[in-house]
Amino acid sequence: MAILFYPEILVAIFLCLLFLCHLRCNKSRTITNWPVVGMLPGLLQNASNVHEYVTWLLKQNGGTFEFKGPWFTNMTFMVTSDHMNIHHMFSKNFSNYTKGQKFQEIFDVLGDGIFNSDSDSWTCQRKLLHTVLKDKKFKLFFEQFVKGKVEKSLIPVLDHVSSFGIEVDLQDIFQRFTFDTACLVVLGFDPNCLSIEFPDVSHAKAFDQLEECLLYRHIVPESCWKLQRWLQIGIEKKLSSAWKIFDQFIYKCISSRQEELSQSKAPKTEEENFDLLTAFGEQAEEIGGIIKSDKFLRDTALNLMVAGRDTISAGLTWLFWIVATHPHVEAKILEEIKEHLLDNGKSKDFNIDEIGKLVYLHGVICESLRLYPPVPFEHKCSVQFDILPSGHSIKPNTTMLCSLYSMGRMESIWGQDYMDFKPERWISERGRILHTPSFKFIAFNAGPRTCIGKDIAFIQLKIIASAIIWNYHVHVVEGHPVSPSISILLHMKHGLKVRISKRNV
């Protein structure tokens, strides 16, 4: 037990005692750099509202400030929402700002996947992902798959809850739907989480648990969570358990898929029997620098599922809350759907090109993502000394935390009406989608790491949103509290309780 005599562990124990005393005081938004404990007490005291708290601090400090952690804990980092700093780090001086070792330690569950990778490994994986996602076979499969899944899975559940007047958590529906779609697209397996029975699925719950536990590693000293991981207690014990459950699920899917493909003699069509993991396995042999193995497939699968499941479900949840609370927005979307997706008053078999004509819906989605980005913050780590456009000096190995949530609430970026929900800010006078630089609208990252799946995400969001809005009216349950959850993804803390009524169309 010699580990208990490390200075950082003693400090961590002291911090816990100090924080318990500090909680007796009234909450305050001010942040004080205390001797020994730094700014940690203020952060912990406002942890339940961390995104708004960080936004307030950034506004008070001109868009960038240095968070001083406790002594001996390696918890000091620079926080920014300055779009010129973002442009500098993500594009102009991209090579100097990597994910870094600290990010990889916090997100160790992601393994060596693309989100955790830097340098040659990242370059190879991005090239591989680009090759697969731009393939005609995948695009054809994806379009037909999403429409089919909406018709065969989502619509029957919404019909059921609307016909019985059932109060339902729309966030849970979206998470079940996107978990099913992510599993099917990535692994070739449909767990059928979304059905009128709303079954409990252990690996889906494990996926949620992983995300909740990972945020904990951001708001306590590294020594604390590493000690808990070593002792297998508290949050870290929950994380390890969830990790084990989900790994068992992924490896089983990989094994089953490989066996299925080895035994299949029938040739595959472009629409059938496609999954990203198989495509990745086939392409990996053709791209140098990637070692094909079950672990590579596991890491790839998990990274793709994080990208394809929770970002979409979180985006949909906030989008439908906004539509439900802005009747004029809902009315304009309905008019646009009627104009472009109907034939003699009936829904037609539309394609991607016709979905692209939903310009106002595109603006609604962008505006929702601006205010409620599914990934609320980004990590970077400096390699060499640098000076940001804001004038802040950055030492080597400095952790940079970029608040995407705060960026959507900055007058310097969006003007005085930054808190107004205005889809029109994304539409030109000629009725076309306006281009906004990615370093201002960073929901899909920026620079060389810009999300390759951005276009696919918009297609999926538009197909799902247009199908639901045209067929149903969503009523948020009166008095239901709406606030961001404390997680690495911007879910709703209490879900989105709604009643759904079918439209007479």
Residue positions in the annotated binding site for heme?
A: 451
CA distance 456 to 307: 11
Pinpoint the alpha helices (H) of 66-197.
83-87, 100-106, 119-133, 136-149, 155-163, 170-187
Give the integer Cα–Cα distance in Å for 74 and 387: 21
Helix ranges (H only) for 306-343 are 311-325, 327-340
Residues of the chain by 3-state class (helix, strand, coil), percent to 5: 55, 10, 35
**Pairing between strand 399-403 and 77-80?**
parallel
Q: Output the six-digit token pair for 341.
A: 């997706």
C-alpha 52/C-alpha 29 separation (Å) is 10
Q: What is the DSSP letter of 463?
A: H
d(CA 106, CA 493): 22
Q: What is the Cα–Cα distance from 291 to 121, expressed in whole angstroms?
A: 10
**Binding site: what residues are annotated?**
451
Two tokens at 490? 């911007």
Is 222 buried (19+), middle (13-18) or exposed (0-12) by CB count in 10 A?
middle
CA distances in angstroms from 76 to 102, 184, 219, listed in the order given? 12, 41, 11
Between the CA of residue 36 and those of 54, 68, 379, 395, 397, what are the distances in Å? 22, 10, 25, 22, 22
Specify the residue for token string 């996926």.
207
HSE at residue 138, side-chain half, CA atoms within 13 A, is 20
In DSSP notation, 212-252 reads HHHHHHHHS-HHHHHHHHHHT-HHHHHHHHHHHHHHHHHHH
Taking CB atoms within 8 Å and a gap of at least 24, the contacts of 391-400 are 392/64, 392/66, 392/78, 392/85, 394/78, 397/100, 398/77, 398/78, 399/76, 399/77, 399/78, 399/100, 399/102, 400/77, 400/78, 400/80, 400/89, 400/97
Asked whether the beta carbons of 472 and 361 are under 8 A apart, the reply is no
**In angstroms, what CA-CA distances link 239 with 5, 73, 136, 250, 483?**
25, 22, 38, 16, 24
Indicate the length of the chain as a whole number: 505
By C-alpha distance, which of 170, 116, 222 is closest to 480?
170
